[in-house]
Amino acid sequence: NAGVTQTPKFRVLKTGQSMTLLCAQDMNHEYMYWYRQDPGMGLRLIHYSVGEGTTAKGEVPDGYNVSRLKKQNFLLGLESAAPSQTSVYFCASSYQTADTGELFFGEGSRLTVL
Amino acid sequence: AQSVTQLGSHVSVSEGALVLLRCNYSSSVPPYLFWYVQYPNQGLQLLLKYTTGATLVKGINGFEAEFKKSETSFHLTKPSAHMSDAAEYFCAVRKPNTGRRALTFGSGTRLQVQP
């Protein structure tokens, strides 16, 4: 039972490069989220999706884009990476029909922008 | 908007001692409250949650927390610390019955357990 899987787990970019982080969940969850984690700041919501084909901005969306073409996948894109985007990125998902409140997290993707 | 304050970014206890991690929240309505644990180089794992009902909730690994509305608190406790409890702990909050179900997290408390 894989749960939430993120790829890649590690990546180093140069300023201005682009990349995409992939999140896949096999729990048939409607809701999916991208957070970034920085020391002393906890987790901050970048974007989220309440279903296939829908996306919405979170607290820190600037510099990121997302897509939810398939229910099980949620992609996070950086079009022109900046050093301020060096962080650990977490994807999460949750139920729609049963509002248990819980989010299920992937293991994270560590991104370094030089 | 909801917010979460975790008092103390680092807490150190001796093995066998009481663990107390503090969390205070701000919310216009009684919220859902959560504690997550993150072990090194891993994702977040749910320890326990309060949604409705009994205000004292028990979680995994011997942890529990009590929702105190009058104090707007949801402190995490464990009677006796174990070396394996060393990790970072996050308190989180959200409003119930909303379309957006994202959690708002505190800044985290790193727990160190001394032998």
SS3 per-residue string spanning A54-105: CCEECCCCCCCEEECCCCCEEEEEECCCCHHHCEEEEEEEECCCCCCCCCEE
What residues of B are in contact with residue A102 (Cβ under 8 Å)?
A: 34, 46, 49
Q: Confidence class of residue A16 from pLDDT cuts 50, 70 and 90?
A: very high
pLDDT value at residue A97? 59
Q: What is the pLDDT of residues B51-72, one digit of tens each?
A: 888 899 999 999 999 999 999 9
Residue A43 and residue B44: Cβ atoms within 8 Å?
yes
A110 burial (CB, 10 Å; 0-12 / 13-18 / 19+) is middle
Q: Residues 56-75, chain B: which have Cβ within 8 Å of A? A: none
Q: Report the pLDDT averaged over residues A85-102.
A: 84
Asked if A105 is an interface residue toward chain B (Cβ–Cβ < 8 A), one would say yes
CB distance B94 to A101 below 8 Å: yes
The reply to whether residue A102 touches residue B101, judged by beta carbons under 8 angstroms, is no
Strand ranges inside A2-59, DSSP E: 4-7, 10-13, 19-25, 31-38, 42-49, 56-57
Strand order in the sheet with A19-25: A4-7, A19-25, A73-78, A65-67
From chain A, the residues in CB contact with B4 under 8 A are: 42
E-only strand ranges, B1-115: 3-7, 10-14, 19-26, 32-38, 44-50, 56-58, 64-68, 73-78, 87-94, 104-105, 109-114
Is the CB of B105 less than 8 angstroms away from the CB of A43?
yes
- CB of B70 within 8 A of CB of B55? no
Q: Which residues of B touch A90 (CB under 8 A)?
A: 43-44
- The residue count of chain A comes to 114
pLDDT over 70 (residue B26): yes
Checking if the pLDDT of A1 tops 80, the result is no
- Comparing B98 with B102, the larger pLDDT belongs to B102
The percent of residues in chain B predicted with pLDDT above 90, rounded, is 74
Residue of A nearest to B106 (CA): A42
Please tell me the predicted confidence (pLDDT) of residue A86: 97
| B101:A101 CB<8 A | yes
pLDDT of amino acid A13: 96
pLDDT value of residue B22: 97
- Burial string for A55-84 (b: 16+ CB within 10 Å, else e) reads beebebbeebebebeeebebbbebeebeee
pLDDT of B75 > 90? The answer is: yes
With an 8 Å Cβ cutoff, is A46 touching chain B?
no
pLDDT tens, A25-63?
999 999 999 999 998 889 999 999 999 999 999 999 999
Q: Is any Cβ of chain B less than 8 angstroms from the Cβ of A58? A: yes
Whether residue B41 is predicted with pLDDT greater than 80 in this model: the reply is yes
Residue of A66, A94, A103, A107 best to disrupt the B interface, most CBs of B under 10 A: A103
- The shortest CB-CB distance from A101 to any of B43, B49, B100 is to B49
Average pLDDT over chain B, rounded to an integer: 92
**Residue A6 predicted with pLDDT over 70:** yes
**pLDDT for position B50:** 92
More confident residue, B40 or A76: A76
Q: Indicate the pLDDT class of residue A20, thresholds 50, 70 and 90.
A: very high
∠ CA(A1), CA(A75), CA(A54), 5° rounding? Answer: 100
Cβ-Cβ contacts under 8 Å, A4 against chain B: 43
